[in-house]
Homo-oligomer: A and B are copies of this chain.
């Protein structure tokens, strides 16, 4: 992380927490994150206005360490997908933990990361549109900034090339490989050749530095492996054809579901020159108790190294909300809605039950189920004999961290005693 840029400092200045954010304690004025950590807020002392999203410090650290061990054991690099959290303070934690860089999805996200000191970004997306190109062009004026984005069509290269040529800049790109029925990426030999041809003509403005794919759209391991093998074969061919500008070409893949298979296939391939293999999972840092817990269980089944690393990934993000009403013996209305937690890959799951004044939360009974979320409310299904009252606090585990993070502008980090020890700010 570079700290000597004027714009970095501007970025840091913006880590002031506005008293207008939800999920904070009483604040008379805006404070810096460091100042908030000094206030001694404790979730169980009712110091925060619910609903609130919280990150658990120990679990974040465990997850960071787990992934670094995994990456190290496979001899590959990690560029965690930052779109998950869009929290520069977490990017910083990931970089300090040994990440090679941060992956992002858009020019806007890249710009935010750069303002907060990031100097190596893999934008795992096509750079399209005049202002998005202009945003990136401006960042490229910083000679310390290393940036890669994707190309998968001659059309796109034809748009990028004059734009960056005119500015005397050179854009570094990876060739995206795709599958029929998938997202971006060249499908056919004909498409591949047409991109290569125009890249060859555009080499003064566009440097081809590697190959990229995103296998996360696939459900079947055999298909994933075939896709990875194809990327390996294309990478070898482009090496032989001397197409790459980078001394060690980049080969990048892996979302949070198949990173073990990607690590195994890519690191096991025999290339005619050294490659830098960059994996891009985003959800490992907070993990979850739904979609990615299931994905992780499969990774542990498949991958011996993953199994050997202590404890595995832990869900580190929860949303806490109050019971507002118990209008029927088996129904509580809780102040958690679609505005507060993701719902696209499963609704939040009750994890803890806490009655203010009691010493500690207890695990939520397994029969408690959130059956529905409206914008600001959740319906919690209970058994008739359950002791749930208005004012009780319920902690929910979530499924799909990405779409929970983007509902919060600030997220307190708590320690094992539920004390707020830090605050992260998001930039969506």
Q: Decide if B135 touches A49 in the complex (CB within 8 Å).
A: yes
Q: How far is the CA of A377 from the CA of B26 in the complex (A)?
A: 38
* Interface presence of A323 (CB below 8 A): yes
Min CB gap A156→B, angstroms: 5
Residues 242-253 of A, flagged 1 when their CB comes within 8 A of B and 0 if not, give 000000000000
Number of copies: 2
Q: Is the pair B152, A325 in contact by a Cβ cutoff of 8 Å?
A: yes
Using A390-B153, A407-B428 as known contacts, say yes or no to A178 and B376 having CB atoms under 8 A apart: no
Closest Cβ of chain B to A211, distance in Å, is 16
Contacts of A22 in B (CB 8 A): 106, 108-109, 428
| Contact status of A390 and B159, CB under 8 A, knowing A20-B14, A131-B48 | yes
With A323-B128, A427-B20 given, is the CB distance from A333 to B108 under 8 Å? no
Complex contact A112–B20 (CB within 8 A) = yes
* B132–A50 touching, CB < 8 Å: yes
A130-B187 Cα distance, complex, nearest whole Å: 57
B325 touches A26 (CB 8 A): no
Interface of A is mostly: loop
Segment at the interface with B among A66-74, A335-343, A361-369: A335-343
A residues 36-62 near B (Cβ < 8 Å) are 46-50
Closest to A373 in B: B344
Please report the C-alpha to C-alpha distance between residue A21 and residue B23 in the assembled complex, in whole angstroms.
Answer: 21
- Contact B128 A390, beta carbon cutoff 8 Å: yes
Is the pair A20, B326 in contact by a Cβ cutoff of 8 Å?
no
Interface check A375, CB cutoff 8 A: yes
- A126–B389 contact, CB under 8 A? no
Report B-chain residues with C-beta under 8 Å of the C-beta of A14: 18, 20
Partner among B112, B184, B338, B402 whose Cβ is within 8 Å of the Cβ of A344: B338
Q: Does A83 sit at the interface, judged by CB under 8 A?
A: yes
**Is there contact, CB below 8 Å, between B403 and A406?**
no
Interface residue? A142 (CB, 8 A): no
Which B residue's beta carbon lies closest to that of A375?
Answer: B402
Any chain B CB within 8 A of the CB of A175? no
Which residues of B sit under 8 angstroms from A130, Cβ to Cβ? 46, 356
Which residues on the B side are within 8 Å of A359 (C-beta)?
none
Which residues of A129-161 are within 8 A (CB) of B?
129-132, 134-135, 138, 152-153, 155-156, 159
A and B contact pairs by CB, cutoff 8 A, 28 listed: A14-B20, A20-B111, A20-B112, A25-B131, A26-B134, A26-B135, A46-B130, A46-B131, A47-B131, A49-B107, A50-B128, A50-B129, A50-B132, A106-B335, A106-B376, A125-B324, A125-B376, A128-B324, A128-B335, A152-B325, A155-B326, A159-B391, A182-B327, A183-B377, A183-B379, A185-B325, A338-B403, A407-B428
List the interface of chain A (C-beta within 8 A of B).
11, 14, 18, 20, 22-23, 25-26, 46-50, 83, 105-109, 111-112, 115, 125-126, 128-132, 134-135, 138, 152-153, 155-156, 159, 178, 180-187, 191, 217, 322-328, 333, 335, 338-339, 343-344, 356, 374-377, 379, 389-391, 393, 402-403, 406-407, 409, 427-428
Instruction: Given contact pairs A23-B108, A25-B131, enumerate 15 new A-B contacts (beta carbons under 8 Å).
Output: A22-B109, A46-B129, A49-B107, A49-B129, A49-B131, A106-B335, A125-B335, A128-B324, A130-B356, A153-B327, A183-B325, A183-B327, A183-B333, A338-B403, A406-B407
Across the A-B interface, the 8 shortest Cβ-Cβ residue pairs: A49-B131, A46-B130, A22-B108, A184-B325, A126-B324, A105-B376, A155-B390, A128-B322
